[in-house]
Amino acid sequence: MAEAGTLHDAFIEELRDVYDAEKQLIKALPKMARSASSRELRGLLETHLEETRGQVERLDEVFASIEQKPRGKHCEGIAGIIEEGKSILEEDFDGPTLDASIIAAGQRAEHYEIAAYGTLVAWARAMGHDDAAELLEQTLEEEKAADEKLSALAEGGLNQEAAQLAHPELAGAANDRPKSKRSPAGRRASK
């Protein structure tokens, strides 16, 4: 009978998964940025692309800190999220609607990464991998910040602009409604 894997084994597998996820995102982000009609959204995606490259370098450091060779394991989760994002880019949406949809796709990826990095930080701390935990925590904070920036951009007018194009008769009424604490594509979940 094979010996059962340990939390350390699961940690390495999760690192390999997120390593591949980041590399997949490095390939996907430029196309999303080029498709954005909003200059602000394009800039945010380009900035996050550079951050993502730095996150891969940081993962190299994490692997080194636990004496493992950096390598990825195909991440099916992020592959599915990226595939959904690609299908959005193929839709015939007006500019603001496409931007709102790109934000939604971006936030799905960010939330996936936040969950993965949150788990990795907790496991690293539990096993006493303090150097790895600190490096992973830096990336976790960057992912949370990227999510917040996407929300701010959506809430700062992109969602409303898309909504007004969809329902011009409601343009004034939308400003009279109370803001929701939760909604997809741009609203942060209430805490």
With cut-offs at 50, 70 and 90, classify the pLDDT of residue 173: low
Flag whether pLDDT at 66 surpasses 80.
yes
pLDDT tens digit sequence for 90-126: 999 999 999 999 999 999 999 999 999 999 999 999 9
Asked if residue 174 is part of any domain, the answer here is no
Question: 123 is in which domain, residue-wise?
Answer: 7-168
- CA atoms of 11 and 126, how far apart (whole Å): 11
- Give the phi and the psi of residue 4 in degrees, each rounded to 5: -70, 145
Q: pTM of the full predicted structure?
A: 0.85
DSSP string for residues in the chain: -PPPP-HHHHHHHHHHHHHHHHHHHHHHHHHHHHH-S-HHHHHHHHHHHHHHHHHHHHHHHHHHHTT--------HHHHHHHHHHHHHHTS---HHHHHHHHHHHHHHHHHHHHHHHHHHHHHHHHTT-HHHHHHHHHHHHHHHHHHHHHHHHIIIIIHHHHHHHH-GGGTTHHHHSPPPS--TTTPPPP-
Contact (Cβ atoms closer than 8 angstroms) between residue 89 and residue 49: no
Contact (Cβ atoms closer than 8 angstroms) between residue 19 and residue 113: no
pLDDT tens digit sequence for 115-156: 999 999 999 999 999 999 999 999 999 999 999 999 999 999
Provide the token pair at 52: 């993502």
Asked if residue 182 is part of any domain, the answer here is no
Asked if residue 191 is part of any domain, the answer here is no
pLDDT tens digit sequence for 13-33: 999 999 999 999 999 999 999
Asked if residue 186 is part of any domain, the answer here is no
Asked if residue 180 is part of any domain, the answer here is no
Tell me the CATH number at 56: 1.20.1260.10
Q: How many domains is the chain built from?
A: 1
Asked if residue 175 is part of any domain, the answer here is no
Contact (Cβ atoms closer than 8 angstroms) between residue 33 and residue 107: no
